[in-house]
């Protein structure tokens, strides 16, 4: 069972350089940076890495405690939601203007919160000569670390301090064979009702109001000798639709749930057409290496005949190539129709996801596929495959050794993947093909 990446929230009053610091850590301009207070309104989060440590970095708007302005109050709600979500807080202040009354107010709030804090004094552009950062000891939230986010001076020391305060990965669960199952999908498709029916108890709050589930909740279930840990997640919407702070951070929680899941159940509302967002959520789960099952919910409300389900499934697979090998089940969380059948599908997909093949098996099939359809030439020279092996089992990853790794086109890799699936199945599981030169290590 995988664990979610820790989250680090960058907070501070307006115009202290939070977004500049955010961009500096990520090494790219993901946040809009402008010398106008309040530019950052919608929250922004991205994966970051330092010294082998991976974490989410959350950019936030300028905090103005007690301001009567509606925009400031809305931003404050978003920042408080970020603080609630974060494992670590990076408190950014302006070293040029010195200790500000708003800094003091924010520090008073932070001292009441049980989170580690890294105090970053930005705009210290004359390092190491400028010693003004020591003035910020008066805030009482720890050692002030000087940095110039715009030039990068001091950023390494700040990142060292951040990763030193990150929480350690929790110990594995008591059952090493436990499967983590994330129930994902757009808001209000019936995820909580589905999990309640599956577990046979009202474990989750259920409401007709979209977005009732704000957190990700873990609930274990024992089935056929396996422990299944269900994660009921908040709904995922397009980023442009995530306007309210709690919903934004629900999306972050759901993304983290996908990352630690072994299997994802993508719930789709069967009374509506398949949305692009449904397909994007499916792709997100597959890119994370999860097994995937599509659960078409509310099927009891659909007017249908004996061809309706097959037509819906065919349309779904036509919309996305990735879903052509993903199992689809039609259920009703209200009536319980086929809900328990998903438990069997979870175990089947989990078995496919951990399936191992011998190197002779892989090489024999690769030779047959290449003989059936030769790869195209690269720069006038034939592309040859020497041998292949399964490098890892979760998700299934195959290493193919060839004389021209860069000369194998994408369509030929799809041909090989389809051949692997025709022979071995891998239902509901992403397959990864890695090309290596003959002398490369893997």
Rounded CA-CA distance 172/178 in Å is 10
In Å, how far from its chain's centre is CA 7? 12
Distance, first Cα to last Cα, the chain: 24
Give me the tens of pLDDT residue by residue for the chain, a chain 442 residues long. 455 678 899 999 999 998 888 888 887 554 444 444 444 444 467 778 888 888 888 888 888 888 888 878 877 877 887 788 789 999 999 999 999 999 999 999 999 888 899 999 999 988 878 888 999 999 999 999 999 998 988 999 999 999 999 877 555 444 667 888 988 887 778 787 888 888 774 444 444 444 444 344 567 788 888 888 887 665 444 444 444 444 455 566 667 778 879 999 999 988 888 888 888 888 889 988 999 999 999 998 888 877 888 888 888 888 888 888 999 999 988 888 888 899 999 999 999 998 999 999 999 999 999 999 998 888 888 888 998 999 877 889 999 999 888 888 899 999 999 999 999 989 999 999 999 987 654 4
Helix (H, G, I), strand (E, B) or coil at 355: coil
Helix then strand then coil, in percent of the chain rounded to 5, is 35, 20, 40
C-alpha pair distances (Å), 12 with each of 53, 101, 140, 152, 202? 24, 12, 15, 19, 41
- Taking alpha carbons only, the member of 57, 150, 162 closest to residue 119 is 162
Alpha helices, DSSP H, located in 86-133 = 101-110
- Taking alpha carbons only, the member of 262, 264, 285, 292 closest to residue 393 is 262
C-alpha pair distances (Å), 243 with each of 203, 250, 314? 28, 12, 34
**How many CA within 13 A on the CB side of residue 277?**
19
Site of tokens 């890892």: 392
CA angle in degrees (0–180, nearest 5) for 195-196-198: 60
Neighbour count for residue 242 (Cβ, 10 Å): 18
- Spell out the residues 6+ positions from residue 82 whose beta carbon is closer than 8 angstroms to its own: 9, 11, 43, 58, 60, 245, 249
Site of tokens 């056929």: 224
C-alpha pair distances (Å), 87 with each of 56, 170, 222, 293? 10, 13, 31, 31
- H or E element, residue 21: helix 18-26
Q: Judge if pTM exceeds 0.85.
A: no
The two most distant CA atoms of the chain are separated, in Å, by: 79
Please give the domain boundaries of the chain with CATH numbers for all domains: 7-165 (3.40.50.300), 179-353 (3.40.50.300), 359-437 (3.30.300.20)
């Amino acid at each position: 069972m995988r664990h979610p990446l820790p989250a680090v929230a960058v907070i501070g009053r307006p115009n202290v350089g939070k977004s500049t610091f955010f961009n500096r850590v990520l090494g790219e301009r993901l946040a809009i940076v402008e010398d106008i207070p309040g530019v950052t309104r919608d929250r922004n989060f991205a994966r970051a890495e330092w010294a082998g440590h991976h974490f989410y970095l959350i950019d936030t708007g300028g905090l103005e405690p007690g301001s009567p302005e509606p925009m400031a109050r809305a931003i404050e709600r978003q920042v408080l939601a970020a603080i609630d979500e974060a494992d670590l807080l990076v408190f950014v202040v302006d070293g040029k203007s010195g200790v500000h009354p708003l800094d003091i107010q924010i520090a008073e709030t932070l001292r009441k919160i049980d989170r580690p804090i890294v105090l970053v004094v930005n705009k210290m552009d004359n390092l190491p000569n400028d010693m003004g950062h020591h003035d910020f000891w008066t805030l009482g939230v720890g050692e002030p670390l000087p940095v110039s986010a715009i030039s990068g001076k001091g950023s390494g020391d700040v990142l060292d301090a951040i990763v030193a305060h990150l929480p350690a990965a929790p110990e594995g669960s008591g059952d090493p064979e436990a499967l983590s199952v994330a129930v994902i999908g757009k808001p209000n498709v019936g995820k909580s009702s589905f999990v309640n029916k599956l577990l046979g108890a009202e474990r989750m709050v259920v409401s007709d109001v979209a977005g009732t589930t704000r957190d990700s909740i873990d609930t274990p279930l024992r089935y056929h000798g396996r422990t299944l840990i269900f994660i009921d997640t908040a709904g995922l919407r397009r980023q442009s639709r995530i306007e309210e702070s709690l919903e934004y951070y629900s999306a972050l929680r759901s993304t983290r749930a996908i990352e630690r899941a072994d299997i994802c159940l993508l719930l789709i509302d069967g009374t509506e057409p398949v949305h692009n967002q449904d397909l994007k959520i499916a792709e997100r789960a597959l890119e994370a290496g999860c097994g995937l099952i599509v659960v078409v919910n509310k099927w009891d409300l659909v007017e249908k005949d004996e061809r309706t389900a097959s037509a819906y499934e065919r349309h779904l697979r036509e919309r996305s190539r990735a879903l052509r090998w993903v199992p689809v089940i039609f259920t009703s969380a209200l009536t319980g129709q086929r809900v328990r059948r998903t438990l069997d599908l979870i175990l089947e997909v989990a078995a496919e996801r951990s399936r191992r093949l011998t190197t002779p098996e892989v090489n024999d099939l690769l030779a047959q596929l290449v003989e059936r359809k030769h790869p195209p030439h690269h720069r006038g020279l034939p592309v040859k495959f020497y041998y292949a092996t399964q490098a890892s089992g979760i998700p299934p990853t195959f290493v193919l050794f060839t004389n021209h790794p860069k000369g194998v086109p994408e369509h030929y890799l799809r041909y090989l993947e389809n051949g692997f699936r025709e022979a071995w199945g891998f239902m509901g599981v992403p397959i990864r093909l890695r090309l290596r030169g003959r002398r490369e290590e893997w």
